[in-house]
Amino acid sequence: MAETERNHGGYNPNSQEHWFPPGTSGNPSGRKKGTVYVAEWMKMLSESKRRELEAIALDEDASVSKRLAATTYLTGLTVDVRPRDRLEAVREVCDRTTGKAPQYQTVDIPQISDAVRVVEDIRRQLGAEDE
C-alpha cells in the first residue's frame, strides 16, 4: 500500500482526480446565507456593554463566532488577566475590526546598469574560458 493511501485511508489528496477543473470554484455555493464571521461580530459587538458581552459569551445557543468575539472583548476588558493576554485580545479586536496595520519595507534594488554590467562580466568570463 502506498504511503499516502496508508496515511489518508485510501484517499490521496495529491491525486489529480480530486482537483477542481480550471475555472471551477472549490466552493460553488459560497458561504451560507446568514453566516457571520468573527470579524463581523467584532464590529457588531463593539458598542456592547460588559454585561451583554458576558451573556453572549455564556449563551450556548449563540454561534461559536459570536461567542468568540464576545470572549475576546471581555479578555481585553478584564483587569485580572495577564497584561500580555489583554494586549493580544485588544490587538485581535483591532485587527478584525479595522484591519491589520500596513507594514512597510524598504527594498534596495540595484540599478539596471549594474545588473547589465554583472551579466556582461560573466559572459566575458565564460567566453574567455571557451577559448
More confident residue, 112 or 53: 53
Buried b (16+ CB within 10 A) or exposed e, 84-94: eebeebeebbe
pLDDT at position 130 is: 55
Contact 97, 46 (CB under 8 A): yes
In angstroms, the CA 3 to CA 5 distance is: 5
Reported as a single tens digit per residue, the pLDDT across 32-54 is: 777 778 888 888 888 889 899 99
Reported as a single tens digit per residue, the pLDDT across 71-81 is: 888 888 887 87
Contact 18, 72 (CB under 8 A): no
Residues of the chain above pLDDT 90, percent: 10
In angstroms, the CA 3 to CA 107 distance is: 43
pLDDT at position 7 is: 56
In angstroms, the CA 1 to CA 16 distance is: 19
Cell numbers that stand for 55 in this block = 451573556
pLDDT at position 33 is: 75
108 residue type, one letter = D
Phi-psi domain of 23 (left: phi exceeds 0; alpha: psi -120 through 50; beta: other): left
Contacts of 40 (CB under 8 A, 6+ apart): 65
Cell numbers that stand for 104 in this block = 512597510
pTM of the model: 0.49
Residues of the chain above pLDDT 70, percent: 76
- Domain positions in the chain are 31-102
Q: pLDDT class for 97, splitting at 50, 70, 90?
A: confident
Contact 49, 63 (CB under 8 A): no
